[in-house]
Amino acid sequence: MLRRWEKNGQKVVLIVGLFLALNFGCSAKDEDSVQLIVKFKESSNEAQRESVHKQIGAQKVRSLYGDPSTDVVKVRSKALASALKAYQQSSIVKYAEKDLKLGIPPNEK
């Protein structure tokens, strides 16, 4: 009887483990958003940048290391075109573009 329970318990652990491995770090919210890189003019301040993000409906993820005037922001996928256009029309933005996440291929031996 105990042996049978251990066998079934292992199956449950395996199934739960696979579920967690496949879904770890993924959510519907992440899947329907994209990241943008927004470079502000040096004359802009943090309050102005936050105001622009808020008006556009973007969420600041972080600033680029070594460049506090460049932010990585998250917007809804459906709002990508309008968000890019709004950033590009802002008088304090130098440029805005979609963050392209490039994969690095493994070294071939």
| pLDDT value at 85 more than 70 | yes
**What pTM, to 2 d.p., does this model score?**
0.66
Find, among 48, 57, 51, 45, the residue nearest to 85 by Cα: 57
- Number of compact structural domains in the chain: 1
> Does residue 16 form part of some domain?
no
Highest-confidence range of 63-67, 82-86, 104-108, by mean pLDDT? 82-86
Per residue in 23-58, pLDDT (tens digit) is 444 444 556 899 999 999 999 999 999 999 999 999
Question: 45 lies in which domain range?
Answer: 36-98
Q: What is the pLDDT of residue 70?
A: 97
Residue 91 inside a domain? The answer is yes
pLDDT at 102: 67
| Residue 26 forms part of a structural domain | no
**Strand residues in 2-87 grouped as ranges (E):** 33-40, 59-64, 67-76
For residue 42, tell me if it sits in a domain: yes
> pLDDT, tens digit, for every residue of 2-12?
455 455 555 44
CATH value at residue 70: 3.30.70
Other CB atoms within 10 Å distance of the CB of residue 81: 8
